[in-house]
Chain A
Amino acid sequence: TQLLEQSPQFLSIQEGENLTVYCNSSSVFSSLQWYRQEPGEGPVLLVTVVTGGEVKKLKRLTFQFGDARKDSSLHITAAQPGDTGLYLCAGPSSGGSNYKLTFGKGTLLTVNP
């Protein structure tokens, strides 16, 4: 079974600070996705990374896929209260299915004004 471990589990910071959250596995993934889930809502896709070593930027968010495609990180610059939410990483489950996602437990980020 492929597992995705996310750290830290909880993170509370002040507005304007920078932060990095991590998604690690002992298994190789063909791609990884990052989602943000706000309270009472479903997850919303932020980015998909597919190439080892890939770096993608989305405004103040920078996503990196590890060279070995076993890990990924999300860096947020100058965090804002609107960044508050549960950040989930997910990857295709093993077995060749192209429809089943394995999710990590998430990092719950709180950005205080």
Chain B
Amino acid sequence: KQEVTQIPAALSVPEGENLVLNCSFTDSAIYNLQWFRQDPGKGLTSLLLIQSSQREQTSGRLNASLDKSSGRSTLYIAASQPGDSATYLCAVNSGNTPLVFGKGTRLSVIA
């Protein structure tokens, strides 16, 4: 059964820092890996989707990498801003199984 772990659970950084969020999964036979952002009391916003054949995806200041063989993904945020403060969720799905989520990393960027 797929399990997704996100480290750290919480992170506080000063504005302007580059940071890395980590995600690991137990079953490397994944179909997709998706990173989401969730603001307090809000829904999930998809940030980046990495298909199993891809190694990374970039969107603006965000870069996500995928190493299927080792069961790991990282989300790199460059030049962090207070508006980046949110919970970041990593999720994977394997063929016919639905997305399985990690417990998230709660990020605070201090001005």
Chain A partners chain B = no
- A interface with B by C-beta (< 8 Å): none
